[in-house]
Structure 1
Amino acid sequence: MSTLTSPVNTNRQTILVCFLAALAGLLFGLDMGVIAGALPFLAQEFTLSSHSQEVVVSVMMFGAALGALCSGPMSSSLGRRKSLLIGALLFVVGSVGCAMAPALSVLVISRFILGLAVGVASFTAPLYLSEIAPERIRGSMISLYQLMITIGILAAFLSDTAFSAGGHWRWMLGIITFPALVLFIGVLTLPESPRWLAMKDRHELAAKVLKLLRNSDQEAREELAQIRESVKMKQRGLQLFRHNPHFRRSTYLGVLLQFMQQFTGMTVIMYYAPKIFEIAGFTTTREQMWGTVIAGLTNVLATFIAIGLVDRWGRKPILKLGFSVMAVCMGLLGYLFYSGISAGAEQYVAVAVLLIFITGFAMSAGPLIWVLCSEIQPLAGRDFGVTCSTMANWIANMMIGATFLTLIDTIGSPNTFWLYALLNVVCIVLTLIFVPETKNISLENIERNLMRGAPLRHIGQTPHTHSVITTERSL
């Protein structure tokens, strides 16, 4: 067995670098979370209808989709590190614009700029982490990014609750400026991805980075040899997508995974948490905001489950468990809303079911979809593949954010939550059919399996099983 997969202690420098890169997730989470608390005050300030509220929420996702689309070429030409720096600057500009918005149009434009920042961060940070971290902790380090998202959401909910007493929505939206500046300063200290350096034929610098981030020179040499072998493929991005059917398969899988994550229904809970608590019978702003904080705290704590288990249990078993939990909880919420929530006991049962749902998401689809999307793409087309999957995430996110209140108004709360329960059942089936297990497998071995025509669910097999899996019909 290679030293790359041996159970040795991880280089502390690697942990520090991964932590700094994962700070992009904190900004991501803050942007997702602040709108939940600010939206009722924005609706009052600018006299917003349900549709206008959906526009304020979903315009950020539209910007994120465009940001993700631009991130592929930008990350490929400028590098992962400079792309993160650009994302941090966009966070600063967008948050200041939201805080100072004199009119709805300025607010929408600023939210769009924040969306661009989120798109860049959601593309670049997981990609950078997957290329910096050794495979034995790759899942945990990418899950750290998701943990930072949940911490950002919780921090946003807490600040929203603090500012809600005085209705200070400008402070709710502007507070993001400060961690954005911290991210910018932190990224200045990061090394460039060794895989990107190798793609640019800067092998000596790639070797220096690996020696800094790995436990021994031998480990660094072995990984660099694997990277140099994988970058020999000259096709890139769209060209590879057009001419290589195996790369098309991994690209489509990445897109599918991101739609699966968004269609669980977690997005609506994060964006419209106070509204959901209102439906559950909590009528005061104080009750709704503190309920939102509890939801955010649950999201943070449950993410530690994924970090602790993703590299032990694997990706696929945790996903199946998570989708099952979410399907049951959405079904129960639909039933509770259908039967009517009138007593205090029924309210707290609804809250308990909601928190279990959040736990199911945070321990599974929340972090693990990002892990898988960063793992399944071959190096020669990784920027293109991750661009497509990240853009799909935000397109699906926009669809959910722009339709939830409309669904509530048209088909009612019970049917809306039953719809999400059905979608989670569909996600279980898709996981069984298409999703591979990539635990403890190097990115290079995943790529070799994919390019040899292994079925998608088998591209995470160990090298000695290649001869078996390539005989099966590709999905």
Structure 2
Amino acid sequence: MDVRDDATSAPTPSPAVMDTTPRAVSRRLRVITVIATFGGLLFGYDTGVINGALPYMTDDLGLTPVTEGMVTSSLLLGAALGAVTGGRLSDARGRRRTILILAVLFFVGALGCTLAPTTAVMVMARFVLGLAVGGASVTVPVYLAEISPAERRGALVTRNELMIVSGQLLAFTSNAIIAQVGGESGGIWRWMLVVATIPAVALWFGMLVMPESPRWLASQARFSEALDVLKQVRSQARAEAELSEVSALAARDGQERLGGWQDMKATPWVRKLMFTGFGIAIVQQITGVNTIMYYGTQILTDAGFASDSALTANIANGVISVLATFVGIWLLGRVNRRPMLMTGQLGTTGALLLIGFFSLVLPSGEGRAFAVLAMTITFLAFQQGAISPVTWLMLSEIFPMRMRGFGMGVAAVVLWLTNFVIGLVFPSLVSGIGISNTFFLFVVAGVFSLTFVKLYVPETKGRSLETLEAELRARFS
């Protein structure tokens, strides 16, 4: 089935919906976005910090290639469980309350990793941290999508992606600084890991004073509370018009009892939509992005950099990720999601092909090191500027309101399990078939991903969540 759509088919909002937003309302929306996306910052820091901490941790904990993969991928396995659990919890108990619980898990997991005396404890603590990362990967984008006006949804939801890559940059930078200050002192990796407790505390205190998602409140038939929240982030006329649309859809979803596994299996259009979501999630991961994020320092060391130089050079990966995400946010307001996703896939696949080629034909040394660095930067420019923001945005948009957290949670499970498998086997693949052949495998996966997006991924730009749900219901029925 080809579910392509043209931008011209997007419905035009009524004048009441497009009225001028008061300055105080815009300021309130910005504050909510900043506080909620501390979850994204923690997501980024906790997934990126292992990049620089792992070489030091390997010596202190006596890690082998297998246990090294376990330490890295235990977070990803936890994230898979955290995604579906967080999605169900946010549907049942609310987005805001779930984010508060996640902030506690972020703090406990980071502290457990910092104090871990053995590999087993480290794996367990990283798993707990993964529960928080997975939950945040689902709940924060859904919260932002549901509280944002339709015309600003792309920009505001992808602020979370900006915070994710900012967290990774913070991890890369703090790793390099701590390594420079601490030198070869034992346990230096513990200082790298403990930094994550600070934004966890900020997230918890910040969310105490944030509102609940108005669409979640409407799904619980708490319409007066939903209107109160909408008035905080819309003009009064627009809040009332939007509540009318949301309430009608909430009543329809309630009659169909959309909300869980049984409903997904019993409702054909939802089932087809779930498989589309699974495909989008897999597409984002099989580019191999997290091999760069988790093992970037080792990739650069293998290419010819010294250990300290690789840590410093790896900061360039973080910087380009942040800059590319700014570009992605700008583009999302101007171009359609689907072509942007396909352009990103073409760019990442080409960069991976060249990484494999340079690693194969260039002699080890400075020339190969800088060639590989240039291609990892190019790869991340396309990944973080196009693929990642579109992925998280689409997953927060395409599922029905009553099961939005659950739907995105299940899709995120697929995403994190794909991430887990890649993170677990990457060191062994490099050891067994070499880095060039490993990246050539990702190139083949990129070709299949591009075909899937071209044939099956819908366009979502320019619709309210309610209009989009109606379109997808008609298209997949």
Normalising by the smaller structure, the TM-score range is over 0.9
Give the letter for the 2:219 counterpart: M
State the alpha-carbon separation in 1 of the partners of residues 20 and 366 from structure 2: 52
Give the letter for the 1:229 counterpart: A
Give the letter for the 1:60 counterpart: L
Mapping 1:319-338, distance limit 5 Å: 319-338=341-360
1:19 aligns with 2:34: yes
1:393 corresponds to which residue? 415
1:135 aligns with 2:150: yes
Residue ranges of structure 2 left out of the alignment (5+ in a row): 1-12
State the alpha-carbon separation in 2 of the partners of residues 103 and 381 from structure 1: 40
1:203 aligns with 2:223: yes
Give the letter for the 2:273 counterpart: S
State the alpha-carbon separation in 2 of the partners of residues 208 and 30 from structure 1: 34
State the alpha-carbon separation in 2 of the partners of residues 4 and 244 from structure 1: 34
State the alpha-carbon separation in 1 of the partners of residues 343 and 295 from structure 2: 25
1:63 aligns with 2:78: yes
2:18 corresponds to which residue? 6
Give the letter for the 1:322 counterpart: G
| TM-score (norm: length of structure 2) | 0.92
State the alpha-carbon separation in 2 of the partners of residues 209 and 375 from structure 1: 20
State the alpha-carbon separation in 1 of the partners of residues 303 and 375 from structure 2: 11
Q: Among residues 286, 299, 307, which one is paired with 1:276 in the alignment?
A: 299
Q: Among residues 65, 71, 82, which one is paired with 1:50 in the alignment?
A: 65
State the alpha-carbon separation in 2 of the partners of residues 285 and 163 from structure 1: 14
Alpha-carbon RMSD across the aligned residues, in angstroms, is 1.4
Q: Among residues 249, 270, 273, which one is paired with 1:247 in the alignment?
A: 270
1:355 aligns with 2:383: no
Name the SS for the 1:412 alignment partner. Answer: helix
Give the letter for the 2:337 counterpart: R
Contact 2:359 2:368 in 1 (8 A): no
1:300 to partner: Cα distance = 0.7
State the alpha-carbon separation in 2 of the partners of residues 61 and 343 from structure 1: 33
1:436 aligns with 2:448: no
2:125 corresponds to which residue? 110
2:250 corresponds to which residue? 231
| TM-score (norm: length of structure 1) | 0.93
1:218 corresponds to which residue? 237
Contact 1:237 1:382 in 2 (8 A): no
1:411 to partner: Cα distance = 1.4
Contact 2:76 2:417 in 1 (8 A): yes
1:384 to partner: Cα distance = 2.0
1:67 to partner: Cα distance = 1.0
Of all paired residues, the percent bearing the same amino acid is 37
Structure 1 stretch displaced more, 157-166 or 91-100: 157-166
1:86 corresponds to which residue? 101
State the alpha-carbon separation in 1 of the partners of residues 300 and 144 from structure 2: 36
Tell me: CA distance 1:4–1:93, structure 2 relative to 1, closer, same or farther (3 Å).
Answer: farther
1:257 corresponds to which residue? 280
Q: Among residues 131, 143, 154, which one is paired with 2:169 in the alignment?
A: 154
Cα-to-partner distance string for 1:230-269 (whole Å, 9 max, x where unaligned): 1112212223202111001111111111111010111100
Give the aligned length: 453
1:267 aligns with 2:290: yes
Q: Among residues 301, 315, 322, which one is paired with 1:300 in the alignment?
A: 322
1:373 corresponds to which residue? 395
Contact 1:18 1:132 in 2 (8 A): no
Cα-to-partner distance string for 1:272-311 (whole Å, 9 max, x where unaligned): 01111012111x2211101111111111110001110112
State the alpha-carbon separation in 1 of the partners of residues 386 and 159 from structure 2: 13
Cα-to-partner distance string for 1:412-451 (whole Å, 9 max, x where unaligned): 1111111111211222111111111111111111111121
1:445 corresponds to which residue? 467
1:145 aligns with 2:184: no
1:414 corresponds to which residue? 436
Q: Among residues 198, 202, 216, which one is paired with 1:178 in the alignment?
A: 198
Contact 1:68 1:122 in 2 (8 A): yes
Give the letter for the 1:96 counterpart: L
Name the SS for the 1:253 alignment partner. Answer: helix
1:194 aligns with 2:214: yes
1:8 to partner: Cα distance = 4.4
Contact 1:142 1:371 in 2 (8 A): yes
Tell me: CA distance 1:451–1:48, structure 2 relative to 1, closer, same or farther (3 Å).
Answer: same
Give the letter for the 2:401 counterpart: L
Give the letter for the 1:77 counterpart: A
2:426 corresponds to which residue? 404
1:36 aligns with 2:51: yes
Contact 1:280 1:341 in 2 (8 A): no
1:309 corresponds to which residue? 331
State the alpha-carbon separation in 2 of the partners of residues 296 and 172 from structure 1: 16
Give the letter for the 2:434 counterpart: G
State the alpha-carbon separation in 2 of the partners of residues 300 and 86 from structure 1: 27
Name the SS for the 1:2 alignment partner. Answer: coil
1:379 to partner: Cα distance = 1.1
Cα-to-partner distance string for 1:370-397 (whole Å, 9 max, x where unaligned): 0000111011221221111111111111
State the alpha-carbon separation in 2 of the partners of residues 344 and 104 from structure 1: 34
Residue ranges of structure 1 left out of the alignment (5+ in a row): 456-473
Structure 1 stretch displaced more, 227-236 or 170-179: 227-236
